[in-house]
Amino acid sequence: MPQHDDEHEPDNPRWWLARRVADVLRHRHSADLIAIGLHGSMAHGDDADASDVNLLVVTYRRGAGPRPVQRRVDGTMVDLTVVSADDHLRQARTLTSAWPLQADSFVTTRGLHDPQEWLKALRDTHLGRLAEARPAEFTTLAREAWCRAAAAHERAVRLASWYDTDAALLLLGQARLHAAVVVGLLSRTYFRNAADAVKRAGTAGVDMAELGSVLKQQAEELAARGRPVDGPLNSLWD
């Protein structure tokens, strides 16, 4: 993980802003910080004028360092996440049903200040957890995501029948995203963000009926993998 990569897009105002923020944090909280990194589009090197500056600040102790904040600075949105090293490593070792939307922040974080190469350790910790994960873990998590997708879809259909179009569209969007997360879990694929998820999973433009068919197919696949989405009461904790 590089420190200050001065050759990377030197005229990019977002990089200039990110380095300014990092320098201020290092000056004010030098004793508290392990690492400062960028995630999102800037970590991938394909940020654009409308991109946010997503900064991760890793501290030695929980509650130390700056407070988390989201503010616009000189026309650019700055999102500052602050987390202790132990907490973030614990998160990297924990697989949840949101994994397809979380993994990128563990695997792709570009260091602005990382003298101990802690961000590399974060990446290796997460990849190590993935290597030891059993297929049944991802299938179980996919079933959780499917239940969220199905619940949002059912509410969207009901609201549409009541001509509450705005609320129905909102829930349809949620259902599309949860269905995309199911795809990611079943295929062990993680996404850059929610927009990337629905685009790559093919759920971005589906309507109510099409999404219902997608959910039906996913339910059949989950059943085939030993995780049916419906069952008797005694199967609730299986």
**How far is CA 158 from its chain centroid?**
29
Residue 164 lies in a domain: yes
Averaged over 163-170, what is the pLDDT? 98
On whether the CB atoms of residues 165 and 156 are closer than 8 A, the answer is no
The number of folded domains in the chain is 2
| Structure token pair of residue 190 | 């993680």
Same domain, 170 and 104: no
Residue 69 lies in a domain: yes
Residue 172, C-beta contacts closer than 8 angstroms, at least 6 positions apart:
152, 153, 156, 208, 211
pLDDT confidence bin for 10, thresholds 50/70/90: low
Residue 28 lies in a domain: yes
User: pLDDT (tens digit, 9 = 90+) per residue, 95-108?
Assistant: 999 999 999 999 99
Is 6 a residue whose pLDDT tops 70?
no
Same domain, 120 and 154: no
Question: 94 is in which domain, residue-wise?
Answer: 13-132
On whether the CB atoms of residues 157 and 208 are closer than 8 A, the answer is yes
Same domain, 98 and 175: no
Same domain, 124 and 161: no
**How far is CA 108 from its chain centroid?**
11
Q: Which amino acid is at 225?
A: R
Same domain, 158 and 113: no
Same domain, 80 and 100: yes
Domain end residue (candidates: 80, 110, 132): 132
pLDDT confidence bin for 171, thresholds 50/70/90: very high
Averaged over 30-50, what is the pLDDT? 95
Gap between the Cα atoms of 2 and 42, Å rounded: 14
Q: Could you tell me the CATH number of the domain that includes residue 55?
A: 3.30.460.10
Residue 237 lies in a domain: no
**Residue 215 pLDDT:** 98
Residue 33 lies in a domain: yes
Residue 233 lies in a domain: no
List, as one string, the DSSP characters of 75-124. TEEEEEEEEEHHHHHHHHT---TTHHHHHHHHH--EEEE-TT-HHHHHHH
User: pLDDT (tens digit, 9 = 90+) per residue, 56-73?
Assistant: 999 999 999 999 999 999
Residue 1 lies in a domain: no
Is 1 a residue whose pLDDT tops 60?
no
The angle at the Cα of 129, spanning 123 to 131, to the nearest 5 degrees, equals: 100
Same domain, 17 and 128: yes
Averaged over 172-196, what is the pLDDT? 98
Is 8 a residue whose pLDDT tops 60?
no
Same domain, 20 and 112: yes
Same domain, 21 and 86: yes
The sign one gets for the Cα dihedral 149, 153, 159, 163 is positive
Same domain, 109 and 177: no
Does residue 161 sit in helix, strand or coil?
Answer: helix
Show the beta-strand stretches assigned E in the chain.
Answer: 33-39, 53-59, 69-73, 76-84, 110-113
The angle at the Cα of 61, spanning 56 to 66, to the nearest 5 degrees, equals: 50
On whether the CB atoms of residues 215 and 147 are closer than 8 A, the answer is no
Same domain, 128 and 22: yes
Same domain, 34 and 128: yes
Residue 21 lies in a domain: yes
